[in-house]
Amino acid sequence: MVKISEVRAGTGNVSVEGEVVAKEEPRDVVSKYGKRLRVCSATLQDDSGTITLSLWGDDIDKVNVGDKVNIENGWVSEFKQQPQISAGKYGKITILGK
């Protein structure tokens, strides 16, 4: 488990824990393969800082503001020079409670 402040873009197999403090409205995007997908940006916070959490598909409806979540085997990418984390293809988001 790492602190949010230690997360770096371009790394995989990242596990972090934090509280969802904000969540935007979901939006539709088209993948590079032409498939329509839903994505939503949320803000994940721990005692070291915040990071954008990208929620895809069913995870959008599972995660709410105020939830404490654990992301296992997450993938950290960069968007507009800011790191963002998602569960990715092989990761998992677990709701730990409020």
4-97 has CATH 2.40.50.140 classification: yes
Q: What's the pLDDT score for residue 30?
A: 87
Q: pLDDT tens digits, residue range 8-50?
A: 999 999 999 999 999 999 999 887 788 888 999 999 999 999 9
pLDDT class for 91, splitting at 50, 70, 90? very high
3-state secondary structure of 63: coil
The stretch 80-91 carries a mean pLDDT of: 90
Q: Of 10, 97, 9, 23, which Cα lies nearest the Cα of 54? A: 23
Q: How far apart are CA 44 and CA 3, in angstroms?
A: 11
Residues in the chain: 98
Q: How far apart are CA 89 and CA 87, in angstroms?
A: 7
pTM recorded for the entire structure:
0.90
